[in-house]
Amino acid sequence: MPELPEVEVTRRGLAPHLIGKTVTEVVARVGALRGFLDCLPNIEGLRLVSLERRAKVLIWVFENDQGARTWLASHMGMSGSWRVYDRPWPEVQKHEHVDLVFGDTVARYRDPRRFGAMTVMDADPRGVPPLSRLGPEPFDEALTESSFFNNLKKTHRSVKQVLLDGSAVVGCGNIYANEALFDARIHPTKPADRLSRPQCARLLEAVRKVLSSAIEAGGSTLRDFHGADGASGWFALQTSVYDREGEPCPICGTPIRRIVLGQRSTYFCPKCQKK
């Protein structure tokens, strides 16, 4: 589930309930997700000073009494989600693997497929691989039409795969990569280095538009984040082409096609999206 918008909505949902509070206890009910969880107890006794995001990773910033920082990088994989509860919090359900207890409030992580990961680090995770190797954030002002164009010029791989690998802009997973290409009217198999300048401009604009409207849609459910309906933000998601094989294109009515690109389902309108 979690592409950039879902992580951002999670960040905004968690922050007001947790910032400034101190971790009183960590409970890991599994030994590992995608990586081992034995580093988690290292945040006990630390105060959460900030909750940030880089690409699809939630970055928890902690401080001790001396102001020394520790970071927790949380990646939610395919099926991860966070919720917060106040005491008395509900009984642990299946697939709820981790509790970060902040006194009378708990942040609880659920992840049926366990593709997520959590790593405690004594350096900012954004400064070390793999995060340090990623391309720019979509809403970073340093990302311009021409820097985007220059990045796409570097590879002959299909533009959709480049969107997914985050080298030119981060945040698009399979849903939003499909949606952005539809919005920009660009064929997903078009080689990245063959996009015209206007196409690049349209694509960057489309990525920003698709991601920000998804954040807005998820943001509308933020008031419910604290409690049983938490993290429900992205279930109302409306798509134009994703998972709509055979359905009419919302612009021209041509049936949406599905192909496989880099082992991922790829949906597009064969008439609206040009090579």
Instruction: Give the nearest distance from C-beta 21 to DNA in angstroms.
Output: 27
- Between 86 and 229, name the residue whose CB sits nearer to DNA: 229
Please give the Cα distance from 229 to 95 (Å, whole number).
17
The interface with DNA within residues 3-42 (CB under 7 A) comprises 3, 6, 34
Buried b (16+ CB within 10 A) or exposed e, 40-57: bebbeebbbeebebbbbb
User: In angstroms, what is the minimal distance from the CB of 155 to DNA?
Assistant: 3
Q: Judged by CB under 7 A, which of 112, 219, 250, 270 binds DNA?
A: 112
Is residue 92 involved in binding DNA (CB under 7 A)?
Answer: no
Q: Candidates 45-53, 144-152, 198-206, 261-269 — which segment interacts with DNA by CB under 7 A?
A: 261-269
Candidate ranges 16-24, 72-80, 96-104, 201-209; the one touching DNA (CB under 7 A) = 72-80
Contact at 8 Å (CB) between 119 and 72?
yes
Q: Tell me how far apart the alpha carbons of residues 119 and 241 are, in angstroms, rounded to a whole number.
A: 35
Q: Is 127 in the site for DNA (CB under 7 A)?
A: no
Closest CA to 138 of 238, 223, 212: 212
Q: Is residue 250 flagged as an active site residue?
A: no
Backbone angles phi, psi at 232, to 5 degrees: -90, 0
Distance from the Cα of residue 2 to its chain's centroid = 5
**112 an active-site residue?**
no
For residue 114, state whether it binds DNA (rule: CB under 7 A): yes
CB of 258 to DNA, least distance (A): 8
Cβ at position 217, least distance to DNA in Å: 11
Q: Quick one: tokens of 113?
A: 């497929």
For DNA, the binding residue among 74, 81, 105, 158 (CB under 7 A) is 158
Run of H or E including 159? helix 159-165
Nearer CB in complex with DNA: 80/199:
80
55 binds DNA (CB under 7 A): yes
Q: Can residue 234 be called a binding residue for DNA (CB under 7 A)?
A: yes
Residues 6+ apart with CB under 8 A from 212: 139
In sequence order, the 6+-apart residues with CB closer than 8 A to the CB of 234 are: 1, 5, 6, 9, 214, 217, 218
Whole-angstrom Cα distance, residue 198 to residue 215? 26
Question: Is 264 an interacting residue with respect to DNA (CB under 7 A)?
Answer: yes
Task: Give yes or no: 2 in active site.
Answer: yes
| Alpha-carbon gap, residue 82 to 227, rounded angstroms | 11
Q: Which residues bind DNA (CB under 7 A)?
A: 1-3, 6, 34, 55-56, 75, 77-78, 94-95, 112-115, 130, 155-158, 161, 164, 166, 173-175, 234-235, 237, 262-265
Catalytic residues: 2-3, 56, 264
